């Protein structure tokens, strides 16, 4: 399965970022802490080149803290400074400006040595749709200056935003790459809401999620939905469908004939996953990938 999804405004955003790059000091790459690798856009490396990078693991409040720590260690091993944040609550956000200035310490010192007054740091914020960019901007500004939403495609254009006297931020629309060759990455993105729900079948996404969760957080599923003891893994789609059916029956997702409405049951599972009602869950770890950078 290859998922194609690259709306026209994302093509324009890529071109506009390339045009503005010469004005940028540092790049803030915003990732979803629940799926750090799947929510990384490989085009960011291509577009931003060697610009200093600060990786922000957003929605850390929804992610498994042990996994977030593991991902932070991984990115730092690649020489990429990392900060776990919760833009919605503001956790970690006040540290962003200081981290950016640390990355630019040598450049700022050269300006001081020349008798120049350092200008505000100019940062580019990039990330896939629905990763929390607008929420982060509003949190940094202390007021609502960017449109937010729980669906991809809310931000449509670029804008420069100044925060205090030491940071200027260029916001961009969320960018997804032209296609997802890795079906698991596509399913993870769909599970967390980065891809519009009409791109994939919701029951297939739910079954994928169940296969991931049984291995990592089976006890959470059993407790949340009152399920009997779950197996250590769900080896095939049918076994995942069986669990989804049980969830549907437990939640009353039944048709007039007493059959389970799988789409309704899938919707419940995904909404509760996204809202954190299943607990703090991460759908991938560095060990799942042969990562090289």
Q: Tell me: the pLDDT tens digits for 161-171?
A: 777 778 888 87
pLDDT band at 32, cuts 50/70/90? very high
Percent of the chain with pLDDT over 70: 85
Q: Is the Cβ–Cβ distance between 123 and 97 less than 8 Å?
A: no
pLDDT band at 211, cuts 50/70/90? very high
Contacts of 215 (CB under 8 A, 6+ apart): 232, 233, 234
pLDDT over 50 at 277, yes or no: yes
Mean pLDDT of all residues in 168-193: 78
pLDDT over 70 at 127, yes or no: yes
pLDDT over 90 at 99, yes or no: yes
- Match 């039944």 to its residue by tokens: 254
pLDDT score recorded for residue 257: 87
* Architecture per CATH, 202-288: Orthogonal Bundle (1.10)
pLDDT score recorded for residue 285: 94
Give tens-digit pLDDT for 111-124. Answer: 888 888 878 889 98
pLDDT band at 30, cuts 50/70/90? very high
Domain with CATH 3.40.50.300 in the chain: 3-180
pLDDT band at 8, cuts 50/70/90? low
Q: What is the distance between the terminal CA atoms of the chain, rounded to a whole angstrom? A: 25
pLDDT over 60 at 6, yes or no: no
Mean pLDDT of all residues in 94-109: 90
pLDDT band at 15, cuts 50/70/90? confident
Q: Model-level pTM?
A: 0.87
Q: What is the mean pLDDT of the chain?
A: 85
Domain topology for 3-180: Rossmann fold (3.40.50)
Domain with CATH 1.10.1580.10 in the chain: 202-288
């Amino acid at each position: 399965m290859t998922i194609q999804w690259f709306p026209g405004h994302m093509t324009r955003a890529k071109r506009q970022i390339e045009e503005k790059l010469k004005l940028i000091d540092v790049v803030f790459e915003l990732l979803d802490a629940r799926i750090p690798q799947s929510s990384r856009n490989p085009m960011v490396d291509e577009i931003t080149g060697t610009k200093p990078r600060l990786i922000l693991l957003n929605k850390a409040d929804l992610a498994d803290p042990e996994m977030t720590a593991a991902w932070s260690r991984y990115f730092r091993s690649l020489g990429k400074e990392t900060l776990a944040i919760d833009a919605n609550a503001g956790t970690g956000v006040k540290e962003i400006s200081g981290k950016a200035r640390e990355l630019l310490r040598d450049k700022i010192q050269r300006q001081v040595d020349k008798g120049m007054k350092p200008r505000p740091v100019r940062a580019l914020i990039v990330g896939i749709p629905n990763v929390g960019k607008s929420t982060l901007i509003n949190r940094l500004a202390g007021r609502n200056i960017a449109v937010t939403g729980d669906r991809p495609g809310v931000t449509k254009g670029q804008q420069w935003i100044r925060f205090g006297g030491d940071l200027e931020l260029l916001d961009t629309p969320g960018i997804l790459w032209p296609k997802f060759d890795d079906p698991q990455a596509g399913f993870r993105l769909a599970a967390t809401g980065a891809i519009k729900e009409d791109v994939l079948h919701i029951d297939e996404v739910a079954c994928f999620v169940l296969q991931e969760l049984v291995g990592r957080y089976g006890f959470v599923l059993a407790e949340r939905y009152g399920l009997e003891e779950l197996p250590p893994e769900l080896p095939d789609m049918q076994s995942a469908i069986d669990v989804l059916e049980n969830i549907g029956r437990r939640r009353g997702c039944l048709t007039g004939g007493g059959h389970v409405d799988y789409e309704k049951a899938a919707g419940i599972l995904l909404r509760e996953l996204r809202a954190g009602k299943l607990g703090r869950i991460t759908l991938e770890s560095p060990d799942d990938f042969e990562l090289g950078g």
